[in-house]
Amino acid sequence: MSSKQEDDLVFKALAHPRRRAMLDRLKGEAQATGMLCAAFSDMDRCTVMQHLKVLEDAELIIVRRAGRERWNYLNALPIKHIHDRWISDYAAHAVTILDRLKTGLEG
């Protein structure tokens, strides 16, 4: 899969607020799918599983089975790649502009 396709999957996964909330829950520690279903009790298990599938396809979570349980672990590397590719360059440019503005105002 090309880098562009991988980025598209990550952006698609991050576009939904429920999936971002799921990733936030996984920041602290891995959680079993049942734990995520309980945390998002306004959704049925099938819907939670569909969201987890999108996150897994984007490689934002890593899934491991332990007996009957399915454990979900955060994989932040795709987010870091998005940051490195898109955000850091734009942030550096913005800081340069702010520095020029500050210098112009002081001068």
Per-residue confidence (pLDDT) for residue 101, from 0 to 100: 80
Q: Which residues of the chain have pLDDT under 70?
A: 1
**Residue of 61, 70, 63 whose CA lies nearest to 9:** 61
Domains of the chain (ranges plus CATH)?
A: 3-75 (1.10.10.10)
Per-residue confidence (pLDDT) for residue 27, from 0 to 100: 96
Per-residue confidence (pLDDT) for residue 61, from 0 to 100: 98
Per-residue confidence (pLDDT) for residue 18, from 0 to 100: 98
Helices 3-14/45-57 angle, 10° precision: 150
Per-residue confidence (pLDDT) for residue 3, from 0 to 100: 78
Per-residue confidence (pLDDT) for residue 72, from 0 to 100: 98
Which pair of structure tokens corresponds to residue 73? Answer: 């672990």
